Chains A and B, each alone.
Chain A
Amino acid sequence: MEEKKLKKGIISSALKDMGISLSILAAATLAGYVFKAFSLTDSDIIMLYIIAVLVISIITSRMQYCLISSVIGVGLFNYFFTYPEFSLSAHDAGYPVTFVTMFITAFIAGSLANKLKRNILIAEQNAKEKEEAALLAQNERLRANMLRSISHDLRTPLTSISGNASTLISNSLTLDEEARQQIYSDIYTESMWLIGLVENLLYATRIEDGKMQLNRSVEILDDIVQEAVKHIDRTHQKRMIYIDTHDEIIPVYADANLIVQVIVNLLDNSIKYTEDDSVIRISVRKEGDTAVVSVADNGTGIPQTEKEKVFDMFYTGGNRSSDSRRSLGLGLTLCKSIINSHGGTISIGDNEPSGTVVSFTLPIGDVKIHE
């Protein structure tokens, strides 16, 4: 099937090249008549044919066209312009030399032009390949960095989980209830952290060339926010989460699962960097043809100098986290590439009187209502 298509393509391009060559030669012949009417010499007409072959060589893709049109050019000149006209015989003894010279000149000029064209094409291709190689190398570096950082960060919770479990297996009778409870809750917390990490990693693998592969459709923003909050509720956080939707139905054109992940990451961050009983507020509104989602907390906020860095990969905000929970610094980077791939923007600012607000925009979805 593919092969057939390819063959068809080759044939149609060959036909096109042939058509072009013949038209140019015909045009040269017509121009030759005009030259003759103005009583210009044979050599001027020969120049016309050489120019025609040059043009053909530049436009068409193969050497054969240059060769064949050189031959045809000589033939046409012989037929139309040498005595006796409209015949392929030539009476003047000098003509054979003229024909050979004309052919050689046309062919050499043509093949040089063709070669030049090829060289340019090759140079362009080389430049493109080089660019691709550079991008690939950059992606590889990014991937290698990520893998290194991930395997390092995976080791800690895995050590804790396997170690704790083995303690329970071998010493369950000697441990008192309080110690056992501590171990259970450690195992739970560490594995929840791993689950969160894996979700983000799954999405990070969809980034290619800094762009996310999207599976977009028209979704209701309110549904997306509700879904994200549902994910958070599961982990029993001691924070108060409010949602302001202004009772408006806002359709957005987005990959719903990815946007859920963005909001989950933002909520996770707000939880990670605030104390118990803090207030987290998600608000949703429409501004022209974009939708704006903000996640605000009343924590301690982020210093101005650090605001630019939070979207960098593997940046983890120093030691400011309220307890020693680890962070891979992948969350906000992922959020940024998800939002940018949607054609939106994400920004970080201060909440009043204290705390942080992260806002992002999404394009409004187009809905035709079918009653």
Chain B
Amino acid sequence: MNECLVLVVEDDKPIRNLITTTLKMNDYRYITASKGNEAIMLNASNKPDIIILDLGLPDIDGVDVIEHIRTWSDVPIIIVSARSEDQDKITALDRGADDYLTKPFSVEELLARLRVIQRRHMKSENNSITEFVNERLRIDYVSGCVYLNENELHLTPIEYKLLCLLARNVGKVLTHKYIIQNVWGSATETSEASLRVFMATLRKKLDDSRQPLIQTHIGIGYRMMKL
């Protein structure tokens, strides 16, 4: 039995059924809510390990739910939204959501996202403040050196800053705006374009033929996968 308790917040019954059936089949425990206020209450009383949150709720906006929960809880939140709502996704991620699913999503995708979050929480204790290890990647924060398969990587100062930011938030999707603000300090149109070039170069330096460490989310941002 999976110890993980999932709070499913979705007002559409067939979708809620789909999610809970999937959870049940894969031995997750779950509770459900169809309204935002109910979700906030259940989160306080039942302390779930993960929340799956639909953005379009009948009573209050999903983004407001995130904001409310984030005032006192760090529970990982996966948001669910329709495809045409890129801006909503970005807002939700900026307000503290961890990941997103786009409708229509497949059952495998949902499970994959849950695993990403669980893995991140299980392994995060292994990493100390002085060192970060993620499969083939090792960052030595003290000396400022980065190793790929124990070979030292030569990164520019910006690339190093980007990598550290992603490593600190491993498993979490970071929006372009968030990354720019944390690496460059100010948000301009040009730095968004140059961010893409920096990330592309960084990804090329980190990738061998195996699974990529850094995922690109078109129109949204980037995420380092916990491998």
B218 touches A257 (CB 8 A): yes
Chain A 336-371 interface 0/1 with B at a Cβ cutoff of 8 Å (1 = within): 000000000000000000000000000001111111
B184 touches A223 (CB 8 A): no
Whether A260 is near chain B, meaning CB under 8 Å from some CB there, is yes
Please, which residues of chain B bring their CB within 8 A of the CB of A251?
Answer: 193, 196-197
A234 to B110, CA, bound (A): 12
Whether B84 is near chain A, meaning CB under 8 Å from some CB there, is yes
Minimum CB distance partner of A249 in chain B: B200
A251 to B197, CA, bound (A): 7
Whether A173 is near chain B, meaning CB under 8 Å from some CB there, is no
A370 touches B156 (CB 8 A): no
A371 touches B156 (CB 8 A): yes
Please, which residues of chain A bring their CB within 8 A of the CB of B157?
Answer: 371
Minimum CB distance partner of A235 in chain B: B106
B204 touches A247 (CB 8 A): yes
Please, which residues of chain B bring their CB within 8 A of the CB of A296?
Answer: none
B218 touches A227 (CB 8 A): yes
Please, which residues of chain B bring their CB within 8 A of the CB of A199?
Answer: 83
B194 touches A223 (CB 8 A): no
Whether A275 is near chain B, meaning CB under 8 Å from some CB there, is no
Q: Report which of B104, B156, B158, B216 forms a contact with A226, defined as CB distance below 8 A.
A: B216
Please, which residues of chain B bring their CB within 8 A of the CB of A234?
Answer: 106, 109
Expressed in whole angstroms, the minimum distance between the Cβ of B98 and any Cβ of chain A is 20
Expressed in whole angstroms, the minimum distance between the Cβ of B198 and any Cβ of chain A is 8
Minimum CB distance partner of B86 in chain A: A257
Give chain A's interface secondary structure class.
mixed
**Given known contacts A202-B84, A219-B218, A247-B204, is B193 in contact with A371 (CB within 8 Å)?**
no
Please give the number of chain A residues whose Cβ is less than 8 angstroms from any Cβ of chain B in the complex: 26
Minimum CB distance partner of A194 in chain B: B104
Minimum CB distance partner of A234 in chain B: B106
Chain B 185-226 interface 0/1 with A at a Cβ cutoff of 8 Å (1 = within): 000011111101111110010000000000010110000000
| A209-226 contacts to B (CB < 8 Å) | 217-220, 222-224, 226
B156 touches A220 (CB 8 A): no
| B131-158 contacts to A (CB < 8 Å) | 156-158
A222 touches B200 (CB 8 A): yes
Residue in A199, A260, A369, A370 with the greatest tally of chain B CB atoms within 10 Å: A370
B197 touches A367 (CB 8 A): yes
Whether A195 is near chain B, meaning CB under 8 Å from some CB there, is yes
Please, which residues of chain B bring their CB within 8 A of the CB of A366?
Answer: 193
Expressed in whole angstroms, the minimum distance between the Cβ of A252 and any Cβ of chain B is 10
Whether A334 is near chain B, meaning CB under 8 Å from some CB there, is no
B193 touches A195 (CB 8 A): no
A222 to B193, CA, bound (A): 14
A234 to B106, CA, bound (A): 8
Expressed in whole angstroms, the minimum distance between the Cβ of B118 and any Cβ of chain A is 22
Please, which residues of chain A bring their CB within 8 A of the CB of B184?
Answer: 370
A369 to B198, CA, bound (A): 9
**Given known contacts A227-B218, A260-B218, A371-B156, is B196 in contact with A219 (CB within 8 Å)?**
yes
Whether A256 is near chain B, meaning CB under 8 Å from some CB there, is yes
**Given known contacts A195-B104, A249-B200, is B194 in contact with A370 (CB within 8 Å)?**
yes
Q: Report which of A224, A227, A368, A371 forms a contact with B190, defined as CB distance below 8 A.
A: A368
Please, which residues of chain A bring their CB within 8 A of the CB of B156?
Answer: 371
Please, which residues of chain B bring their CB within 8 A of the CB of A219?
Answer: 196, 218
A220 touches B200 (CB 8 A): yes
**Given known contacts A257-B218, A257-B219, is B197 in contact with A220 (CB within 8 Å)?**
yes
Chain B 71-110 interface 0/1 with A at a Cβ cutoff of 8 Å (1 = within): 0000000000001101000000000000000001010010
| B162-197 contacts to A (CB < 8 Å) | 184, 189-194, 196-197
A263 to B180, CA, bound (A): 29
Residue in A222, A260, A365, A367 with the greatest tally of chain B CB atoms within 10 Å: A367
A202 touches B218 (CB 8 A): no
Q: Report which of B106, B190, B204 forms a contact with A370, defined as CB distance below 8 A.
A: B190
A-B contact pairs, 18 of them (CB 8 A): A199-B83, A217-B193, A220-B200, A220-B216, A223-B218, A224-B218, A234-B109, A249-B200, A251-B193, A251-B197, A256-B218, A256-B219, A257-B218, A257-B219, A365-B193, A367-B196, A368-B194, A369-B197
In the complex, besides A251-B197, A370-B190, 18 extra interface pairs with C-beta distance below 8 angstroms are A199-B83, A217-B189, A218-B193, A219-B218, A220-B200, A222-B200, A224-B218, A234-B106, A249-B197, A251-B196, A256-B218, A256-B219, A260-B218, A367-B194, A367-B196, A368-B193, A370-B191, A371-B157
- Would you list the 3 A-B pairs with minimal beta carbon distance, nearest first? A218-B193, A223-B216, A220-B200
A→B interface (CB under 8 Å): 195, 199, 202, 217-220, 222-224, 226-227, 234, 247, 249, 251, 256-257, 260, 365-371
